[in-house]
Structure 1
Amino acid sequence: MNRRGVTIVLSFMIVLYSCGFRGKAPKAVQDRDPDTIFPRGDIIASGNFTGTAFLQMLVPADTVYNTQIGNVTFQPGARSHWHFHPGGQILLVTHGKGYYQEKGKPRLIIRSGDVIKCPPNVVHWHGASSDSSLTHIAISPNTPKGAVVWLQPVTDKEYYGGIRE
């Protein structure tokens, strides 16, 4: 675990101790990958992903903020289907390596620390590389316009296509 991770864990333990918590860590803490900030969440079983991906909703859509935020973790080789967001989407990559591709453009490599702006109504996909997991915070603003429209699966040819670094 890196220094930042140790600091976060120690800070969390101090807060728990100061609040009188003396037992086993909460399930949300137990389910965390040691290299990620938020819990991994549950397997996404919607049929809109190839491979195994997990979702932990952090902020559900509401009428005050009109934004939903989720922590998404892709196992190696996992990816979304082609899709678009009527209100756009922002991806904050927090761990690992993966890909992002807009329809008709080259596939891009994305890594921890990258920020991807998916424009409204632009067809795209994203997921982990074949040799690394990928975790990102998915921010979907303007939810009254619609959250996501799912399309066809990403083919292996598209997934393994050319890379622009």
Structure 2
Amino acid sequence: MHITRNRPDSRQGPAEHFTGTVWLDEIAAPDAPSRLRMFSVHFAPGGHTAWHRHPHGQVLHVTEGEGFVQREGGPVEPIRAGDTVWIEPGESHWHGAGPRTFMTHLAVVEAAEDGTTVDWGDLVDACTYPN
């Protein structure tokens, strides 16, 4: 067993992968052979990811606020505190806060054998949020 008491500093999501203000807090990145990675991601209103995909999929669990998620070719779906989203391996998608609210979610992924956890795509064009 290993208890982590000191965490890395919060870091701002880089502009090439995020629109608006987004902060990332690493929660878990155990040593090999584990490939688990977990982050708490804090989105300011209007903040969201670029299009991206994960080699082994992703679990999002919304801990506070409200936001949206969309898979490529699908509708923009609302998500709120308590919701859990499973994103299939290789499924292109984006997620983030709504235009008027903050949103925080836990993001859990499994790294590929080469250590890759995400393949980033283009920034999302202007979001059209459902009413």
Please give the TM-score of this superposition, normalised by the length of structure 1. Answer: 0.69
Match of 1:160 among 119, 122, 128: 128
Instruction: State the Cα RMSD in Å.
Output: 2.2
Pick 1 or 2: higher relative contact order, CA cutoff 8 A, min separation 6.
2
Which residue is equivalent to 1:62?
31
Which residue is equivalent to 1:51?
20
Match of 1:86 among 51, 55, 66: 55
Match of 2:82 among 77, 102, 113: 113
Tell me, which stretches of 5 or more residues in structure 2 are unaligned?
A: 1-6
Residue-by-residue CA offset, 1:58-78 (whole Å, 9 max, x unaligned): 112532321100000000000
Compute the displacement of 1:46 (Å).
5.2
Does residue 149 of the first structure (1) align with residue 119 of the second (2)? yes
| Structure 2 contact 66–79 (Cα < 8 Å) conserved | yes
Match of 1:97 among 28, 42, 66: 66
| Structure 1 contact 50–81 (Cα < 8 Å) conserved | yes
Superposition misfits of 4+ residues, deviation over 4 angstroms: none
Name the aligned partner's letter for residue 68 of structure 2: Y
Percent identity of paired positions between Structure 1 and Structure 2? 33
Match of 2:92 among 120, 123, 130: 123
Which residue is equivalent to 2:4?
none
| Structure number with bigger Rg | 1
Compute the displacement of 1:47 (Å).
1.9
Task: Give the Cα separation in 1 of the matches to 2:56 and 2:30.
Answer: 12
Does residue 134 of the first structure (1) align with residue 103 of the second (2)? yes
More helix by share: 1
Task: Give the Cα separation in 2 of the matches to 1:107 and 1:80.
Answer: 14
Task: Give the Cα separation in 2 of the matches to 1:75 and 1:153.
Answer: 17
Tell me, which stretches of 5 or more residues in structure 1 are unaligned?
A: 1-27, 29-39
